[in-house]
Structure 1
């Protein structure tokens, strides 16, 4: 889930990574999410102090679920999601609990599910009351049990299960202590079953301490007595943008590149997960469909021996290395074992000040390191202690890292990262280590530049001033690929029968107006110091004509009389000669050349010299 806490939660599924740092997914199971939405009357009433254009909490919850499904289609279309309403008058669920309505079963996101939520958004209160109805008698325990039954019906392998509860009522069972106890017990049962419960509380006056804080506390057997007080609960959201931002963080599942043992010293080990921090997003592969049924085609690739037609098996293949003029053969297993220098894992080699790490050390995308309490108990505490000391002393741990079987050896610097919260107490940056892969000696190149012109001190100062003025904190998520966005907009319009496409804003293009407003004077100063007076940055660059000496050298042709055709023919360079030279040389020896092409002329020359 999004909130990275040292409590053993955080990662879902498995992810592989190739040698270039790009991720390749290994199937570790689908992630499943259920949107559990309260439909009590209060959810359909906008707060009295809310702006006129603000939607009631129920509309915001449905809109958040709709936006999440739209995002899942693009980012993780194999994950599963469901929508369950509680506090409805009507009942529809597999275990027949009152006032709980399963609107959408646990399935992959698709056009039908998205269109159903759009119809629900367009539905007015009267029509909703006739179709589903309102109530306030639903037991939260029953709603959670229905969600658990929805998960249990799923036949797919699940790597993570989560329930996202939307409500604006902070004390639903105020007059019934038994229902409150049942809800708390059910929340503990869900946690033991590996189902994560997240509360998306809405409304400025929502008090999470009245009831819902007890549903998301850690286990009672925590070592710290006041562990409850250590949990940072996010403040309630009152705007749709805040709700969506929290939804993105909660719904995004973290998948590991690998789980390895981190050896600090002989006999001192902990388990950590290695996560991909940034990966390249590409267009999905084309899927071949059968034209009559529109079903996906499955194809198999088999290779046969050309001489006999015998089917080749993987054991029939060998690799070879030429050594001493001979082909030394290796089986595939032997070739793999050559690359295996160390077993997968991470070993601490020492510490270096963070200031000693240079930006140009970057060789491939960094990884994120986080403890894995499920594999080795006590990893959280050991990891937290190491992180705390590295932050206090501003030191980076130097490690040898092999993320998984078959990966190449990498030396990395673990840069400590402190947890950051926004003004709503929602986590922005998780605590952990950023594993920056270090270059080897042969990764550095010595570049020799000739005819260098050194910038003057004034020019350097002017450039620094421009950079300082235009500097901003870069975040990859703020810059969408316009080509990818256009591709998905077209698919969305086709799947949802849209007549008009939403315009795609290209944020990768420079905002010249804003740049001129912020640093126009500084840019003009830099231009005057570096470029000549006649320089116009908006004018297209003209190609420089070739210098007179180069042009003259190009035009100079060799004298045919000075070329020794016989010597060049014996050296195997007859095809390098021009047709005129070949014809002239052959005519001197009485050979007919009329109507012959260059290949024939070359052969005649070779015949004449006896080659």
Structure 2
């Protein structure tokens, strides 16, 4: 475990790779999952360190079960850094033939079977005594020993222990490292993980890797959770035949943690409170009883009960909670759903066996749609008081069934979605926009590229083609920098660990394949005509005399200098006569900023300033041009 392996990058030992993976896991959990509980156990040690209730020979509790913290991650980083193996041996000891000089003749049994069994006992006890907030219970076993059995043993003791842990809902995942490029899992771990470990669907409980970086990636991938947003129903017959499904968000933008306002003296958190005050009496009220919607310059007032009735779902033969969920409308060809119909971020649904037969019904529908290349169109209601939205359910088979076992492992490594339906939100006719009408000129045909320009672009594309690239492998550099700053402050360090930005182009590789020259040639072929026209018009240089680079915004050739001058209207447009009544009753403040700015734009007034300035500007204009109407 402590011996260096030349087959790994930097001749890293298996111990250093495992500790680095544990450190990266705990460091990530401090930010993304602070409510989790994490513990670390080492087996086959010469010392025995643990609680009185779970103290076993040759087992040490490196970290007790607790919420992930910066101090805990810092402790693991000491063992993962240079000299960490010696620090670990000094604190916990080890029973390794090369390290303590023991031989079987001394009576010390160097096989790991008993030590590993006791280590699993300790891990199981720590999981059961952990706070109840821990939901899924997982044990990740790091090893580089493919045969942890004594001579003549079949591993029955380990098999029995794993089976008992599985009965308690504790899943075991084996993360193994090769030794000199070799790890024979057929000796024991194939049977161990196949029968008793209970991995997630579509994944294997045994991972064999060679490099420490691969070990970190596999560990983080297996520990990642897909949290269910909600549970709802896929109705095949409204109110009668339904399939229970879970709704998931497979992709969600990771955002920086929000700051909290604190008091300057005691650093206590400052909480914000919102109160409502009646505009007529000035009395404090619990909640506004009425709301208005502006339409055609008028305020349409509704009570909260009336608005609730307008938003409530009314569907024939379905009432109450049965109206919530996905209601099947029919099926269309998959080619009907194109990428330009994307309305919002998609979700994912998978079957849940809360009702007997739900999974079988779901799987049958899924496979038939894949075979016939169809998608299901449904009316989706998020809640009883939410409006219907049309969605397309796009089927997704498990990678192993769709592309074979070889492609399955690659898809799982990329965190491809599991088996189920992608929920594709569809627009209504009113939601469609036509940007091509704004871009395409009407006076002359839209310019098109000729074959010479297309060939230049083709050479650039061929030269900068990415291989083995997937967005799941690219961390957000801004977010990683934010986490490193928080970590530096929490650990009271003076220097932040460097963050590698994987979004930057590989300029060294670009130089090797002559990309800069190809880009220059591409630019010359595409922008030569535009530059010639600008030079003839005298607009090729900027104010300093330097030539303008391609891609920079053009300046208007004959545009006059100075700001645009507008003429203030001397009368009020008929559609804004209601503003006179607002001025009479001193109720301009009830109008929205958009309504005030619309008035200003229609009458040549400035649009700048806050709401009070807009109110004063509108009132002054009305009093100036419509003084007679105010009397």
Q: Taking structure 1 as the reference length, what is the TM-score of the superposition?
A: 0.71
Structure-1 separation of matches of 2:139 and 2:70 = 22
Structure-2 separation of matches of 1:244 and 1:488 = 18
The answer (yes or no) to whether the contact 1:462–1:526 under 8 Å persists in 2 is no
Structure-1 separation of matches of 2:120 and 2:133 = 21
Structure-2 separation of matches of 1:528 and 1:356 = 38
**For 1:258, what is the secondary structure of its paired residue?**
strand
Structure-1 separation of matches of 2:571 and 2:352 = 76
Structure-2 separation of matches of 1:610 and 1:332 = 36
Give 1:192's aligned residue. Answer: 167
Structure-1 separation of matches of 2:131 and 2:488 = 31
1:181 maps to which of 146, 150, 156: 156
Q: Taking structure 2 as the reference length, what is the TM-score of the superposition?
A: 0.69
2:67 maps to 1:108: yes
**How far does residue 254 in structure 1 lie from its aligned partner after superposition?**
0.8
Q: State which drifts further: 497-506 or 335-344.
A: 335-344
What are the equivalent positions in structure 2 for 1:305-454 lying under 5 Å apart?
A: 313=286, 317-321=288-292, 327-331=301-305, 334=308, 338=312, 343-373=323-353, 375-402=354-381, 409-410=388-389, 411-419=391-399, 420-422=407-409, 428-432=415-419, 433-447=421-435, 448-449=437-438, 450-451=441-442, 453-454=445-446
Structure-1 separation of matches of 2:570 and 2:396 = 72
2:5 maps to 1:44: no
What are the equivalent positions in structure 2 for 1:131-150 lying under 5 Å apart?
A: 131-135=91-95, 136=112, 138-150=114-126
Structure-2 separation of matches of 1:388 and 1:603 = 72
Cα deviation code 1:519-541 (max 9, x no counterpart)? 85376246424542637784673
**For 1:454, what is the secondary structure of its paired residue?**
coil
**For 2:227, what is the secondary structure of its paired residue?**
strand
Cα deviation code 1:229-283 (max 9, x no counterpart)? x985655111112111211210101101222233345765433322112212222
**How far does residue 445 in structure 1 lie from its aligned partner after superposition?**
1.7
Shift of the 424–557 alpha-carbon distance from structure 1 to 2, 3 Å rule, reads: closer
Cα deviation code 1:378-401 (max 9, x no counterpart)? 544444444444333333333333
2:137 maps to 1:161: yes
1:91 maps to which of 29, 49, 66: 49
**How far does residue 493 in structure 1 lie from its aligned partner after superposition?**
1.8
Give 1:274's aligned residue. Answer: 247
Give 1:117's aligned residue. Answer: 76
Cα deviation code 1:151-192 (max 9, x no counterpart)? 2323342332211111122232344758x3343233233333
Cα deviation code 1:19-66 (max 9, x no counterpart)? xxxxxxxxxxxxxxxxxxxxxxxx22235x635822221211110010
The answer (yes or no) to whether the contact 1:187–1:197 under 8 Å persists in 2 is yes
**How far does residue 336 in structure 1 lie from its aligned partner after superposition?**
9.0
1:171 maps to which of 132, 142, 147: 147
**How far does residue 117 in structure 1 lie from its aligned partner after superposition?**
0.7
Which has the larger share of helix? 2
Query: Cα RMSD over matched residues?
Result: 4.7
Structure-1 separation of matches of 2:48 and 2:242 = 55
**For 2:350, what is the secondary structure of its paired residue?**
strand
Shift of the 540–464 alpha-carbon distance from structure 1 to 2, 3 Å rule, reads: closer
**How far does residue 219 in structure 1 lie from its aligned partner after superposition?**
7.2
Total equivalences in the alignment:
528
The answer (yes or no) to whether the contact 1:257–1:274 under 8 Å persists in 2 is yes
Give 2:88's aligned residue. Answer: 128
Give 1:217's aligned residue. Answer: 194
Give 2:219's aligned residue. Answer: 247
Structure-1 separation of matches of 2:190 and 2:519 = 53
2:478 maps to 1:521: no
Which of 1 and 2 has higher RCO (CA within 8 Å, sep 6+)?
Answer: 1
Unaligned runs of at least 5 residues, structure 1: 1-42, 579-598
Shift of the 446–423 alpha-carbon distance from structure 1 to 2, 3 Å rule, reads: closer
**How far does residue 340 in structure 1 lie from its aligned partner after superposition?**
7.6
The answer (yes or no) to whether the contact 1:398–1:414 under 8 Å persists in 2 is no
**How far does residue 214 in structure 1 lie from its aligned partner after superposition?**
3.6
Structure-1 separation of matches of 2:149 and 2:142 = 16
1:303 maps to which of 250, 272, 275: 275
Unaligned runs of at least 5 residues, structure 2: 96-111, 316-321, 400-406, 533-546, 581-598, 606-618
Shift of the 163–258 alpha-carbon distance from structure 1 to 2, 3 Å rule, reads: same
Shift of the 439–189 alpha-carbon distance from structure 1 to 2, 3 Å rule, reads: farther
Structure-1 separation of matches of 2:277 and 2:572 = 48
**How far does residue 555 in structure 1 lie from its aligned partner after superposition?**
8.1
Structure-1 separation of matches of 2:565 and 2:300 = 49
2:533 maps to 1:541: no
**For 2:327, what is the secondary structure of its paired residue?**
strand
2:472 maps to 1:500: no
Structure-2 separation of matches of 1:253 and 1:609 = 67
1:262 maps to which of 216, 228, 234: 234
Shift of the 464–152 alpha-carbon distance from structure 1 to 2, 3 Å rule, reads: same
Shift of the 345–326 alpha-carbon distance from structure 1 to 2, 3 Å rule, reads: closer
Shift of the 343–44 alpha-carbon distance from structure 1 to 2, 3 Å rule, reads: farther
Cα deviation code 1:347-374 (max 9, x no counterpart)? 333333333321111111122232324x
